Structure 1
Amino acid sequence: MQLKNILLPGKVSSKRIFYLDFLKAFAIFLVVVGHVSAETLIHSSVNINWLFADFYSTFAKISIPIFIMISGTLLLNRDYNFKGFIEKRFSRILIPFLFWGSIYVIFSFVFGFTEGKVPDYNSVTSIVSFIINMFLGRPGYLNHFWFVWMILSVYLITPIINKWIKNSSFDEVKYFLIIWLVTCVFTTFKLPYVNIDLRYFAGPLGYFILGYYLHNTKTKLSQNNYLWTAVLIISTILKVFMIYNNSLIAGSFQGIDYYDLTTVFQAISLFLIFKNINFNSNTRKNITTYFSEGKSANIILSISIFSFGIYLSHLLLFKLLWVMNVDFASMNALVSIPILSLILFLVAWVAMLVLSKIPFFKKFTGAI
């Protein structure tokens, strides 16, 4: 049997954009890194080991903006009707979400997955409340499920934003993004809104439109990978030390918002770096061709297709290790975080491959 038949869930569209699949595969690995590094950040004191975890977490935080940007690239300026779009997108999200959510709930009752959050088993109300909070992704219950509700809210408004994009000039899109960046300035420096309420421009919608804009823009500035590599390095270093300093002062982990300017510039630079490697003729024959053809391409494409399933499922094994009282905070973060992340990532990916070969379970893999 060919490797392609093992890795991919049936027929795959030939219209896929490879650099987006590559970017999505990289981003889902960063999600795992972020969740693993969080254990050290939250449960240990601020020291050199903590600083290594800070670096991994800081870089990994790009993953969520990247996912939103990829969605904007693929869903905007397209032809579809509202009803068909909502039905297709919501079923792809909700079916695997409800399945994996149920698995987490069952495991939580059996193993106590949550950090101190347990229901009163003598109260039906308490049990129902516990289950609802798990699915809602409340802090202390099942935090990573917040992404599901965020992306569903973006999908709800996508048909409306799509009509605006189709009937707007590129300058009008840039106008929106400029105002969105202003809201990010407010977020970064904690500036007051004064008398201008810019909340309508804030949030994930900015990343959604930003992805579409960056994919469709082609200038000397956007194609300068030396520049964007420098921006990625500088913004990451700044963010690492901002978090380190704030946490040192507070005595506990102090994270930075997804709409902080450092995160925005990290996301912009990483997106453009991947895009430019894909389209730059000077590198295509060596770097990109290696990954875009043959076995490597099939692996990357497979990871990209199963990325949502990997996102939903990867914490199962991690939480089992947590229940077994594995002390992640005492490990050497520099080495343990990438190794453990890779193990969790591969286990989740292989699980999706196995489920995709079983007709009944295929729909729970989140394959897109």
Structure 2
Amino acid sequence: MAKTKSKRIFYLDALRAVAILTVIAVHVYAVTRIHVMADFATGPSIRWLISQFTGNNLRIGVDLFLMLAGALSLGREWTIKEFLGKRIPRIVEPFVFWGIVTGAIAVIASYYFGYNFIYSFDINSILNFFYGVFMAKSPGFLPYWFFWMILGTYLIMPIFNKWLQHSDLKEAEYFLVFWLITCLFDFTLNIKFPIKLSYFVSPIGLVVAGYYLRHTKREILDNPYFALALTFLSALLIMGIVTYFSTPTKFHTLNRYSLPITLEVIGVFLLFKNFNKFGLDLGFIKNENSLFRRFVSLIAKYSYGIYLIQGLFLCIYVKILPYYDIYSLMIVLFILIVFSSMLTMHILNKVKYVNRFIGAK
């Protein structure tokens, strides 16, 4: 019997892989940036700029996940029951599974190896720790806030899907204009726009943007050189803002929903969508069976599970790795977390019954 051809779209898989890799990179930045803070006193050093590039210019992972949710789900024929019945278990089951498993590992690591996930081992303390795990408050589990955000986004998506099914892309543009206004005022300038625009605030704006960018036929948005320029100029703007507002005792961090990062993530999405229009003869990208494409698709497949376990690996490795220099620490941490997360997911994905709960899709 012939194999059914995969319906996966490679540039969307590649964006999902980039999303999870940038999430890991930003979390590595968060635990290593302290080593370069003093560099700013005599002017931003190269290693300070690299650290801040990692922490701000790569703050696009969550935005990309939201755009991909819109690109893949909106404007399609499905009922609320079908959508929620399929999507909600996909995020809830891995969240509960990994919360219990990695939470238990954290307690064991604290008890036997002196890690600081938990300090007291009575029943109340352990229960409070697990409550903090699922509420994204316990050490090592702060990234779990993503679950609650994406859950809320999924709950509202059926409303937007019905609207977009009966609208043309110009009506989506109307929505996105006001969304960009909220990105500018609420998340960049940190002031309230005089008109209350709560219904246009991210993350739902990114979901609609993902749908729009995938389906738009506007000539400028289908131009790879425009996408490249938008990405590059946004990156320069982000670094300029970060450098200007930072001090020797404080790193300036842009909100992930700020306008500069929003423009950068739009540029990245369009760059991947239109990459084939550069006319580059890259066999490792064109060949569906190449090792590169298979590896990218594997990262994309495991991305949600990786998100749920990478925080634990980060906390473990950052304690045992010696500090020689910021470059070595960041690179080694990043490689170890990616490798450990991928290996864990790949092994468990082969275990019957367990594989349905790990976040592989």
Give the equivalent residue in structure 1 for 2:13. 21
> For 2:148 and 2:234, how far apart are their aligned partners in 1?
28
- Which of 286-295 and 61-70 deviates more? 286-295
Q: Could you say which structure has the greater relative contact order, defined with CA pairs below 8 angstroms and 6 or more residues apart?
A: 1
Instruction: Tell me whether 1:366 sits opposite 2:356 in the alignment.
Output: no
List aligned pairs for 1:68-147, cutoff 5 A. 68-112=66-110, 118=118, 120-122=120-122, 124=124, 126-138=125-137, 140=139, 142-147=141-146
> For 1:338 and 1:172, how far apart are their aligned partners in 2?
44
CA contact (8 A) 1:38 1:53 kept: no
Alpha-carbon spacing, 1:246–1:108, altered in 2? closer, same or farther (3 Å): farther
CA contact (8 A) 1:115 1:140 kept: no
> For 2:343 and 2:4, how far apart are their aligned partners in 1?
19
> For 1:122 and 1:24, how far apart are their aligned partners in 2?
40
Give the equivalent residue in structure 2 for 1:315. 311
Alpha-carbon spacing, 1:58–1:347, altered in 2? closer, same or farther (3 Å): same
Give the equivalent residue in structure 2 for 1:306. 302
Deviations 1:150-181 (A, max 9, x none): 11111111111110110112111111000000
CA contact (8 A) 1:42 1:253 kept: no
TM-score by length of structure 1 reads 0.87
> Please, which of 45, 48, 51 is the counterpart of residue 49 of structure 2?
51
Letter in 1 for 2:9: I
Letter in 2 for 1:28: I
> For 2:5 and 2:73, how far apart are their aligned partners in 1?
15
Alpha-carbon spacing, 1:143–1:220, altered in 2? closer, same or farther (3 Å): same
> Please, which of 242, 254, 257 is the counterpart of residue 256 of structure 1?
254
Alpha-carbon spacing, 1:142–1:114, altered in 2? closer, same or farther (3 Å): farther
CA contact (8 A) 1:114 1:140 kept: no
> Please, which of 8, 31, 36 is the counterpart of residue 28 of structure 2?
36
Aligned residue for 1:264, secondary structure, equals helix
> For 1:143 and 1:244, how far apart are their aligned partners in 2?
26
Shift of residue 331, structure 1, vs aligned partner: 2.2
- Which of 39-48 and 263-272 deviates more? 39-48
CA contact (8 A) 1:37 1:53 kept: yes
List aligned pairs for 1:1-368, cutoff 5 A. 14-42=6-34, 45-47=37-39, 48=45, 49-112=47-110, 118=118, 120-122=120-122, 124=124, 126-138=125-137, 140=139, 142-186=141-185, 187-194=187-194, 196-248=195-247, 251-278=249-276, 280=277, 282-283=279-280, 285-286=281-282, 289-290=285-286, 292-324=288-320, 326=321, 331-333=325-327, 335-368=328-361
Letter in 1 for 2:358: T
Alpha-carbon spacing, 1:252–1:110, altered in 2? closer, same or farther (3 Å): farther
Shift of residue 282, structure 1, vs aligned partner: 2.5
CA contact (8 A) 1:30 1:60 kept: yes
Letter in 2 for 1:346: F
Letter in 2 for 1:282: G
TM-score by length of structure 2 reads 0.88
Number of residue pairs matched by the alignment: 350
Shift of residue 291, structure 1, vs aligned partner: 5.4
Shift of residue 43, structure 1, vs aligned partner: 6.1
CA contact (8 A) 2:94 2:305 kept: yes
> For 2:202 and 2:6, how far apart are their aligned partners in 1?
33
> For 1:199 and 1:109, how far apart are their aligned partners in 2?
40
Quote the RMSD (CA, aligned, Å).
2.5
Deviations 1:158-210 (A, max 9, x none): 1111101101121111110000001111021223332x211221020000000
Letter in 1 for 2:227: W
CA contact (8 A) 1:277 1:288 kept: no
Shift of residue 315, structure 1, vs aligned partner: 2.6
- Which of 62-71 and 78-87 deviates more? 78-87
> For 2:191 and 2:119, how far apart are their aligned partners in 1?
40
> For 1:224 and 1:39, how far apart are their aligned partners in 2?
38
Alpha-carbon spacing, 1:193–1:281, altered in 2? closer, same or farther (3 Å): closer
Letter in 1 for 2:312: L
Deviations 1:268-307 (A, max 9, x none): 00000000014x2723x43674454433322221111111
Letter in 1 for 2:190: K
**Share of identical aligned residues, percent?**
32
Letter in 1 for 2:359: G
Aligned residue for 1:22, secondary structure, equals helix
